[in-house]
Amino acid sequence: MHKQAGRRMNPFLVFMAGASRDQVASRSRQSPDALVYGFLAGGARYSVVARGGVVVPVSKEKGRYLATIAAAGGGCVSDREALDSLYAEREDGGPGSSSLLPCERVQLRKLLEPLGLTIENRWGFGYMVVCVD
């Protein structure tokens, strides 16, 4: 766990495109403090996140949302920024409200528990991924 002066630190993000589940797990063992996010090869319907060799499958949307928050590098991501990132590829820009994101965060927090991570709210600033182990 990263700690500085009793403060929980956020993991750094490693992105792997077209990787296998085993490659993502191997990379996460090489850098145990990193959060490894991978789109799987072969057009899989889900992506995976891993930390310390533990691999958790997530939907592509949840994975993209998690990567958006984790990529902030210690900064916070607002709901508006997350929505812009999630729906950047859509012609209509996606939904105008962020009512979907609280549900996504609750589900992601449960998926991140085995990795020793959680999503914290920084009131007035946004959300960030932090280590809790």
pLDDT value of position 113: 92
| 67 phi, psi to nearest 5 deg | -60, -35
pLDDT value of position 7: 42
pLDDT value of position 41: 67
pLDDT value of position 9: 54
**Token output for 120:** 């914290």
User: Going residue by residue through the chain (133 aa), what tens digit of pLDDT does each one get?
Assistant: 344 433 455 667 788 888 888 888 898 888 887 888 887 766 667 888 889 889 999 888 888 888 888 887 777 888 888 888 777 777 776 666 667 788 888 999 999 999 888 888 888 888 888 888 6
Return the beta strands (E) in the chain as ranges. 3-4, 7-8, 13-19, 35-40, 46-51, 54-59, 117-122, 126-131
Q: Which residues contact 108 (CB under 8 A, 6 or more apart)?
A: 58, 62, 65, 66, 119
Q: Which domain does 72 fall in, by range?
A: 3-131
Residue 70, domain CATH? 1.10.10.10
The number of folded domains in the chain is 1
